[in-house]
Chains A and B, each alone.
Chain A
Amino acid sequence: MFEVLKVSGLDKRFGGIVVADDVDLALVKGRVLGLIGPNGAGKTSLFNLVCGVVKPDAGSIMLAGREINSLPIRERARMGLARTWQNLRLFQSLSVLDNLMLGQRDYSADNLLDIMLRPGHVANRERDSLDRAYAILDQTGLAEIAHSPIGDITFGQQKLVGVARALMNDAQCLLLDEPMAGVEGQAYAVIQRVVRDIAASGVAICVVEHNVGFIRDLCDEGVFMFAGKVLARGSVESLIADPQLTELYFGT
């Protein structure tokens, strides 16, 4: 039970709005945790806190045994933390393939001096990234549209590109923010399969999702959040069956 990500006592408030209230959470290697809760419960905010988009008021965030509270977003990413975004945040002026290329943890051109002085080194790393990108495009069934601009592909495909780009990181911890919202048909099946495969390869995954069917099929465990608090944790079945939580979820 190796805890890849461990969040303890996390607090964050924006004025009077509490988005995280003494949150404890652990993501375990090879397991999928589902974050459940109504809108405004603090699920995406928790992702933002973990990624460094928002700084916590108190508490600690440990990634692979190292505290990352003070690290900028890019350093956390380079330690193997990857995420997708509710509103996708794909690079609109790039092709699908180029979106993926940028997700490589050690990008070919991160160092400007390398481009000027070691073009061969950069070319080798580009080739490695290209191979990895094509492997992931195959895995996600996107290879046919590799060269399409983001604006030319369907919403379901865009969702897949978001996941595929996050996979480029070869992350040890993957946060998926509503991967299924607005997705149906083939893309739905692909995302489900990919998430299962990634977990099986030993990545710790956390999913925010309103699609209960997806959560039930995929998650090993669920956490119910409300008003920035973790109210309950356990099997997804038990959380869904709890009448009190159902009432909070749907409101009264």
Chain B
Amino acid sequence: MSTAVTGTATTDRRRSFMAFTTTWASQIGITTAFVLLWLTFIVLAPDTFLSQRIYQSFAQTTPYFAIVALALTMVIIAGDIDLSFPSIMALGMVGFVSVWNVTGSVELGVVASLAVGALAGLFNGLIVTLVGIPSLVVTIGTQFLFRGLALVLVGGKSFALVQTRQSPTYDILVGRVLGIPMEFIWLVLAAVAVWVLLNRHRLGQNAYVIGDNRHAAQLMGVPIRRTRIVLFVLTGLAAAFAGLMNSLQVVNFYPSMGDGYLLPTLAAVFVGGTSVFGGRGSIWGTFLGAFMIGGITAGIVAVGLTDFYTKLIYGAVILISVSIHAVLQRRFEY
């Protein structure tokens, strides 16, 4: 059944080159973009970008959306999207403060927030798969629903969380180890876990197949519904965990928390080379993409531009990265 039999040495070499670039084009592209952006910052603002302090700051603040971006990468690879995670960040914290206020236990509060996050994700997944509405539409709805629920449940109040600092769990979640913020360590652990799930587990295999060709997945008996639901649950969990870290770090919870994270998180995923059409994406890309997005604000101020430039440069970086991915794909894959 093969026409490759007739392939000459030239086409073999060409295909070999294609195979290499097909596999790595995206990763090489994002890594190059990341290095270039960072070199620009270092050249223009060496004092800031060669000091340790700014890296400690990045290591603490980037994980708040990077952890969600990791889970979201899997959702997008499977051909879905979740826009409700900023609200789940807050809703999970409603679970935390309710249980913590009653029991006084930070640990039980953590469990409650994660449980609420998972349930919110499950709700998304069930509506998407059982009612059969596109996830884009469903999660626009649940974004309001979850946010509204959080606001109503706490009556719009904010909560001081200073007393959580007395718990050892506080240090495990948002303390420091050898000067490294725990947020960063959690991010690395999450990245490794998600990479394994995506590349070495049935869940990832099924996610890729569903995102690439859902019809084929159906014909070949891939558990489409279950896989999609699990991915929404994982995103809910990641969002609740990120909301928890964020709130504990600032020892304050306010029910509009997470609102600003929607676009940076999505940008991190797409800058990282994940295809909005599904079937393609990488954890390494999302990881670097998150730090690119996270570094821009600080970089712009450090190089001496006013904060007004932030959005302008955000937009430029996002468009340039996504264009590079698109060109690389067309050049090497079709």
Q: Do A and B make up one complex?
A: no
Q: Using a CB–CB distance below 8 Å, which chain B residues touch chain A?
A: none
Q: Using a CB–CB distance below 8 Å, which chain A residues touch chain B?
A: none
